[in-house]
């Protein structure tokens, strides 16, 4: 995510209302706004917005940057959304599990961003798909997200399906929005977490909302305006460490999503006290646990560069034929090596 100050971030694609204080009296409109809105919104950009009619003073559009303010003036600034850059195809290798005229299923590697965005305008899965599919993705799902109906975090690996037609995009998008409640959609992830849950299987039903830093998520009260219903079902598959489960150092857990919120598995597992190994955002307090492991396993765990999460199973009905489809991808080598390190303890 690119670095902006908080005030400017709130302005992008939004309307902002400011009130001129006594010190603003007699100042030029552009000069005063530049002083209030910080270096990330330059004076020349503010002047352009004024000329475009994006600034009102006292409810009246003002197009002169040199307009003089009076104390108590209400100034409204509308900053339009930036025009999305159309991504270009790039020859990035794809691990294709299946492809036909309607869709393509890939095994996304860890480290690959799904679609272009701030700080990642190139080198994404979308760039790779455009190169591979050509014009068949054009216009589907929006300029910056052609064909994308769901996504995985940059550092999460595993199975993804991408639409190649408008019909497939609509049907698959509806299936993911419904989270499989009324259809055949199933998603299963495997996660390596610290410790072992008190129950070998269970359901985490805890709403998620934004954390204070605007990127991370957190479990929040259901009454909060941004709270979103989130449900994860988990089952412990294997544990590592001492002979008895209650002394386990870590465990391999299958997680099945009933909803699909941002960072859902990562936040939910941390919420019950078992964050994912390698998770820098939600498992910071557990990083020192690696120091208690023997070598060379401790070094393997410390150097693992991402959250240990892999989307290993995806089931859905084909949007055209309605045939049930099932795709699995084995854990990638880095995560398999990490699990092996715990097995050796």
Q: How far apart are CA 214 and CA 323, in angstroms?
A: 40
Residues with catalytic function: 153
The H-or-E segment that residue 57 falls in is strand 55-57
Q: Which two tokens stand for residue 89?
A: 């195809």
- Non-local (6+) Cβ contacts of 159 within 8 A are 97, 105, 106, 107, 108, 311, 312, 313, 314, 327, 328, 329
Q: How far apart are CA 319 and CA 228, in angstroms?
A: 27
CB 110 within 8 A of CB 138: no
Q: Give how far Cα 82 sits from Cα of 79, 118, 301, Å.
A: 9, 11, 41
Per DSSP, the three-state class of 33 is helix
Q: Give how far Cα 162 sits from Cα of 117, 123, 264, 281, 323, Å.
A: 18, 17, 21, 28, 17
CB 269 within 8 A of CB 281: no
Helices (H), the chain: 6-11, 29-37, 43-51, 125-133, 166-178, 264-271, 297-303, 333-343
Burial grade of 28 (CB within 10 A; 0-12, 13-18, 19 or more): middle
Q: Categorise residue 4: left if φ over 0, alpha if ψ from -120 to 50, beta otherwise.
A: beta
Q: Which two tokens stand for residue 173?
A: 């998008």
Q: Give how far Cα 72 sits from Cα of 7, 18, 50, 64, 306, Å.
A: 21, 10, 19, 19, 51
């Amino acid at each position: 995510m690119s670095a902006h100050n908080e005030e400017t971030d709130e302005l992008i694609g939004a309307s902002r209302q400011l009130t001129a204080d006594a010190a603003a009296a007699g100042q030029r409109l552009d000069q005063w706004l530049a002083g209030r809105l910080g270096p990330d919104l330059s004076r020349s950009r503010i002047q352009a917005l004024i000329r475009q009619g994006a600034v009102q003073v006292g409810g009246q559009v003002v197009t002169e940057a040199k307009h003089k303010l009076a104390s108590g003036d209400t100034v409204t600034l509308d900053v339009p959304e930036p025009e999305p850059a159309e991504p270009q195809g790039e020859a990035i290798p794809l691990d294709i599990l299946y492809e036909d005229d309607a869709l393509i299923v890939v095994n996304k590697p860890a480290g690959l961003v799904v679609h272009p965005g701030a700080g990642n305008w190139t080198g994404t899965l979308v760039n790779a798909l455009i190169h591979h599919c050509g014009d068949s993705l054009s216009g589907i799902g929006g300029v910056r997200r052609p064909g994308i109906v769901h996504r995985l975090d940059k550092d999460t690996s595993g199975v993804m399906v991408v639409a190649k037609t408008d019909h497939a995009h609509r049907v698959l998008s509806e299936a993911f929005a419904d989270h499989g409640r009324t259809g055949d959609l199933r998603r299963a992830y495997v996660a390596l977490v610290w410790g072992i849950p008190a129950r070998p299987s269970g359901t985490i039903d805890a709403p998620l909302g934004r954390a204070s830093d605007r990127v991370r998520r957190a479990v929040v009260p259901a009454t909060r305006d941004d709270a979103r219903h989130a449900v994860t079902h988990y089952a412990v598959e294997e544990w590592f460490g001492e002979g008895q489960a209650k002394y386990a150092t870590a465990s391999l857990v299958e997680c099945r999503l009933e909803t699909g919120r941002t960072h859902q598995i990562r936040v939910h597992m941390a919420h019950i006290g078992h964050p994912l190994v390698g998770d820098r955002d939600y498992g910071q307090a557990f990083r020192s646990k690696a120091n208690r492991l023997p070598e060379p396993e401790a070094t393997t765990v410390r150097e693992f560069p991402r959250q240990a999460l892999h989307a290993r199973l995806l089931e859905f009905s084909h949007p055209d034929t309605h045939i049930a489809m099932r795709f699995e991808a084995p854990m990638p080598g880095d995560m398999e090596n990490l699990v092996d390190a715990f097995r050796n303890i």
